[in-house]
Chains A and B, each alone.
Chain A
């Protein structure tokens, strides 16, 4: 039996449901020696703002039990820098490129969406309204309904390409915002972003991060993500990209059963760069073992 692993997010077709989470895979070249990029469902690059951003002071990450807290501060080369430095490289591959975008104002989001949305080789945009490491703008957009709707509608008006909205990991309101995203024209939502967190060095009594607080990712957040995905999947009709602590195929299949159409491998790229491709192989093996012809048959297959 021929296995069909392809999935669709709006007009974005992926050959398999496995991509990488923004910020954990650089802009493509970083992992190209270790991972066959053409075998990924899509590549999601690190967040791009209209102008270059230097990011936070070190230390920028700290390892905790089964997780990583990061406060990189969205360092990036800006829209122009990305287009000139990285897009020509990415165009050489046969893999959809999803560009994660963010800004400090609604106009920032609209501008970067317009510029990047017009570029050949950009398959879709992921609107980041939920980075925990930017004080003004970004974070607020993810938690204030009016600002959220203004940004999502604003980006929608600037590009016809598939728009994915990356939701804030707000335990109590994530469903509400997913519905807003759907109402404002999102083709898909992605979740969960890293969860606000911090760590203190008890000897020096100082924060372990230069930014004091950051976002927790990794296996520690996986069960939280599964619950949020399950709840959001019941609330919207648009497809979900699920992420949060995937280290093996079983974690990804959990997300699909909970209602996600696609998944993204994040922190595990750092631990073991081959994770995403091993997850693809593991999903195929699972489909074969369960006599399923298509990965789409798994979506929402959870039996409560």
Chain B
């Protein structure tokens, strides 16, 4: 974990409000492992006391790429960043994805820009498997070509049917699970909304497979000090403890997660 003053090399919109930010980060970039994140101080946002966490989409040599969507106060300001600007980064942070188990076929499941957390692992994995990308509409499906170029089979689904099969990404996963896969044993790597993560986890538990899920919790310090991003994690004695998404996570094996979504009024 390092604190580094980085510089914006490239910043552009890919599609539909999704943007790619490339930073010169010679200290942090070589240390990033799949599924880890960086904590970024948004410039020109003087009233913000918190940094913003972003999955590292790619890290090569001295460069880090972040893929994000303009959804709020922080990202709304970030979109005006231009090449050459300085940007303070803390990273790499958290425990990311492990390598796929020997003899298993890696299965990636991404909701929207959740694929950003999966690319680095997809690139480094010696075994290429199948990647499921889901979103509300075609604009939410990103970087299919990039994953295909790595040798992954990408299956797309959208809720409105504007690209790939119509429906939830987990329906596409179900169709694949029910197809003739021989005796292959899937191992899941997922990032996306909590509902999707739970659904992937439920399927893995039912099938007796492993599923690694990257949890996205509201985050404070990013380094384990403030205890904002806590997640209930099961203990062997049948109880639970809070674990920090920024430190013990963000990736957990699905069996360890206690799902407890607040009922909406």
B51 touches A31 (CB 8 A): no
B169 at the interface (CB under 8 A from A): no
Stretch from A19-27, A167-175, A251-259 contacting the other chain = A19-27
B105 at the interface (CB under 8 A from A): no
A272 at the interface (CB under 8 A from B): yes
Task: Name the contact of A68 in the complex, choosing from B1, B41, B49, B230 (C-beta under 8 A).
Answer: B49
Most B CB contacts (10 A, CB to CB) among A55, A59, A68, A273 go to A273
B129 at the interface (CB under 8 A from A): no
Which A residues lie within 8 Å of B222 (CB)?
270
Which A residues lie within 8 Å of B217 (CB)?
58
Report the minimal beta-carbon distance from A237 to chain B, rounded to whole angstroms: 34
* Cα distance, A68 to B228, chains bound together (Å): 11
Chain B interface size range: 20 to 34
Task: Name the contact of A23 in the complex, choosing from B3, B226, B242, B264 (C-beta under 8 A).
Answer: B226
Task: Name the contact of A34 in the complex, choosing from B1, B49, B218, B242 (C-beta under 8 A).
Answer: B1
A274 at the interface (CB under 8 A from B): yes
Which A residues lie within 8 Å of B50 (CB)?
61, 63, 68, 270-271
B90-110 CB mask vs A (1 if < 8 Å, else 0) is: 100000000000000000000
Which B residues lie within 8 Å of A75 (CB)?
227, 230, 242
B227 touches A270 (CB 8 A): no
Task: Name the contact of B47 in the complex, choosing from A31, A66, A273 (C-beta under 8 A).
Answer: A66
B256 at the interface (CB under 8 A from A): no
B48 touches A63 (CB 8 A): yes
Closest A residue by C-beta to B260: A57
Which B residues lie within 8 Å of A26 (CB)?
223-226
B230-257 CB mask vs A (1 if < 8 Å, else 0) is: 1000000000001000000000000000
A54 at the interface (CB under 8 A from B): yes
Known A-B contacts A33-B1, A218-B49; the reply to A270 vs B226 at CB < 8 A is yes
Most A CB contacts (10 A, CB to CB) among B88, B218, B221, B229 go to B221
A84 at the interface (CB under 8 A from B): no
A12-45 CB mask vs B (1 if < 8 Å, else 0) is: 0000000000011110001101100000000000
B220 at the interface (CB under 8 A from A): yes
B60 at the interface (CB under 8 A from A): no
* Cα distance, A267 to B264, chains bound together (Å): 31
Which A residues lie within 8 Å of B90 (CB)?
34, 273
A6 at the interface (CB under 8 A from B): no
Task: Name the contact of B41 in the complex, choosing from A25, A46, A65, A271 (C-beta under 8 A).
Answer: A271
B225 touches A271 (CB 8 A): no
B2 at the interface (CB under 8 A from A): yes
A58 touches B3 (CB 8 A): no
Closest B residue by C-beta to A71: B228
Most A CB contacts (10 A, CB to CB) among B90, B221, B223, B226 go to B226
Closest B residue by C-beta to A273: B3
Chain A interface size range: 35 or more
* Cα distance, A68 to B47, chains bound together (Å): 10
Closest B residue by C-beta to A61: B228
* Cα distance, A60 to B221, chains bound together (Å): 12
Report the minimal beta-carbon distance from A132 to chain B, rounded to whole angstroms: 16
Which B residues lie within 8 Å of A98 (CB)?
none
B218 touches A59 (CB 8 A): yes
A268 at the interface (CB under 8 A from B): yes
Which B residues lie within 8 Å of A72 (CB)?
226-228
Most A CB contacts (10 A, CB to CB) among B220, B227, B265 go to B227
B49 touches A30 (CB 8 A): no
B230 touches A31 (CB 8 A): no
Which A residues lie within 8 Å of B46 (CB)?
66
* Cα distance, A219 to B46, chains bound together (Å): 10
A10 at the interface (CB under 8 A from B): no
A157-176 CB mask vs B (1 if < 8 Å, else 0) is: 00000000000000000000
Known A-B contacts A58-B218, A68-B50, A268-B49; the reply to A274 vs B3 at CB < 8 A is yes
A34 touches B223 (CB 8 A): yes
A70 at the interface (CB under 8 A from B): yes
A61 touches B88 (CB 8 A): no
Which B residues, 1 to 51, have Cβ-Cβ distances below 8 Å to chain A? 1-3, 41, 46-51
A60 touches B230 (CB 8 A): yes
* Cα distance, A168 to B222, chains bound together (Å): 28
**Nearest 5 CB-CB pairings of A with B:** A26-B225, A30-B225, A270-B221, A33-B1, A61-B228
Contact sample, A vs B, 14 pairs, CB 8 Å cutoff: A33-B1, A58-B217, A58-B230, A65-B47, A70-B226, A72-B227, A75-B227, A75-B230, A204-B264, A270-B49, A270-B220, A270-B221, A271-B50, A274-B3
Known: A66-B49, A270-B222; 7 extra A-B contacts, CB below 8 A, are A26-B223, A33-B2, A34-B1, A55-B227, A59-B218, A267-B49, A272-B41
A interface residues (Cβ-Cβ under 8 A, vs B)? 23-26, 30-31, 33-34, 46, 54-55, 58-61, 63, 65-68, 70, 72, 75, 204, 206, 218-219, 267-274
